[in-house]
Amino acid sequence: MQPKPTLEMRVGELLVKLGFLDERQLEQALTVQREQTKYKPLGEICKELGFISGGVLHDILFRYRKQLLLGELLRKMGAISEDELNEALQEQKKSGDKLGQILVRNGVLSVAALTDLIHYVSNWELKG
């Protein structure tokens, strides 16, 4: 008997366990993800490849509480380094300020760059 889907599983694993993808499709999506010049979440790639609908993706992400935090997204996209993220997160713990505000205030990102990145990510949802 296969284990039930859990909150700890990655999106690709969940999609396979729940029967929305087969192993071949998952491998194809992972290959596409690795070949991207800009980071894109696996679920978005599966949607673009026509393996799943936007509704399925939304339901899975919501049900299994899958979200990509801003700092992690910016790091994966190459907009900030691991060190810059860690430094900003430490400052966030002390100040309680929003991560984007800290990154802009510290000169790591400009307001325009942060806005462009957020706009780019928001287009993932609009295309679905």
* 89, 69 contact by CB (below 8 A): no
2 in any annotated domain: no
5 in any annotated domain: no
Q: 91-127 pLDDT, tens per residue? A: 999 999 999 999 999 999 999 988 888 777 766 654 4
Q: Are residues 20 and 53 in the same domain?
A: yes
pLDDT band for position 9 (50/70/90)?
confident
3 in any annotated domain: no
Q: Are residues 48 and 86 in the same domain?
A: no
Report the distance separating Cα 19 and Cα 28, nearest Å: 16
Global confidence as pTM: 0.64
Range of the domain at 40: 11-63
Q: Are residues 75 and 44 in the same domain?
A: no
Q: 26-49 pLDDT, tens per residue? A: 999 999 999 988 888 899 999 999
Q: Are residues 32 and 79 in the same domain?
A: no
- Kindly give, in sequence order, each residue whose CB lies less than 8 Å from that of residue 5, ignoring residues fewer than 6 positions away: 13, 14, 17, 18, 64
Q: How many domains does the chain have?
A: 2
